[in-house]
Structure formats: C-alpha cells, structure tokens
Amino acid sequence: MDYKQIQVIIKDFEKSSLANMELEFDNVKIKLSKNNTNVQPITQVSMPKIETPIKEEKNKIGYEVKSPLVGTYYASNSPDAEPFVKVGKHVNKGDTLCIIEAMKIMNEITAPVSGKIIAIDVANGEAIGFEQVLMLIDDAK
C-alpha cells in the first residue's frame, strides 16, 4: 500500500457516516475515528480485501534511487527553473537529483552513484512515500 492509497482511504472515511474504522494488511495498520454526534453506530463492517496492484516490472538495469523520507517531490529548486536532471542526462556521484519537501524543510537528494538517468518515476509536485523509487541510474561501466 502506498501513500496515495492511504490518502484515498482517509478521504473516503471522512466523507462516510462511520465513526470508527480499523484496517490491517501486510505490515500496515490504520485506525481512524471521528468525534461526530450525528454518526449512526455500525456494529460490523465487512470490507473487501484490498489488493496492492502489482506494477509492471521494468527492465531494471542500474541503480534505484529511493526516497529517504515522506514528502513532496520537486524536480527543480523553483517553479520556473529547469529540472536538476532529465532522462538521458549523465550525473556524477553527489550531484543534486531533486528536492523533497518534508515539514517545510527542503531536502536535496544527491546521486549515490555516477551514471545516466534512464527513468524518472515521479512527477513534479507529487506526494511520495518512504523508499519509493524516484528514478533509475544506469551505473554500468
């Protein structure tokens, strides 16, 4: 389950007439409750099993750059600036790849290896989760 799926669950719960809800799957447990006096009590709710979609496996050659934290992905340091990297660009170890904003703090993510950017898996301004793959670097010599 990823961050976006959890956000959808929370928004649906907020719109519902449920007062409490607990979900548990894989290594994730979510407990939600509302303090709303107009909510009708429900004794039992049967929820369908939520399947995490299996992403089509790419020919992953190279190094996966994963997010070290939860936050918002930014491809550049300002809205009108060029992105730090694009697919096809060569980067050196230590070059800035992107920025992740978390709690109003801008965190620069740097290249852990040298190589060519072969894929960028997130969009500018997208909410991302911990250890979500951001991009792939072909680090083959």
Residue pLDDT, tens place only, 48-70? 444 444 344 445 577 899 999 89
Contact 128, 72 (CB under 8 A): yes
* Residues spanned by the domain of 131: 63-138
| Shared-domain flag, residues 121 and 77 | yes
Identify whether 42 is part of a domain.
Answer: yes
| Shared-domain flag, residues 43 and 71 | no
| Shared-domain flag, residues 14 and 67 | no
| Single-letter amino acid, residue 127 | A
Lowest average pLDDT, out of 6-10, 83-87, 128-132, goes to 6-10
Identify whether 14 is part of a domain.
Answer: yes
The total of structural domains in the chain comes to: 2
Nearest to 117 by CA among 70, 83, 78: 83
Q: How far apart are CA 95 and CA 106, in angstroms?
A: 16
Contact 32, 15 (CB under 8 A): no
Residue 45 has pLDDT above 50, yes or no: no
3-class SS letters over 79-114: CCCCCCCCCCCEECCCCEEEEEEECCEEEEEECCCC
For 99-138, what is each residue's pLDDT tens digit? 999 888 888 999 999 999 999 999 999 999 888 999 999 8
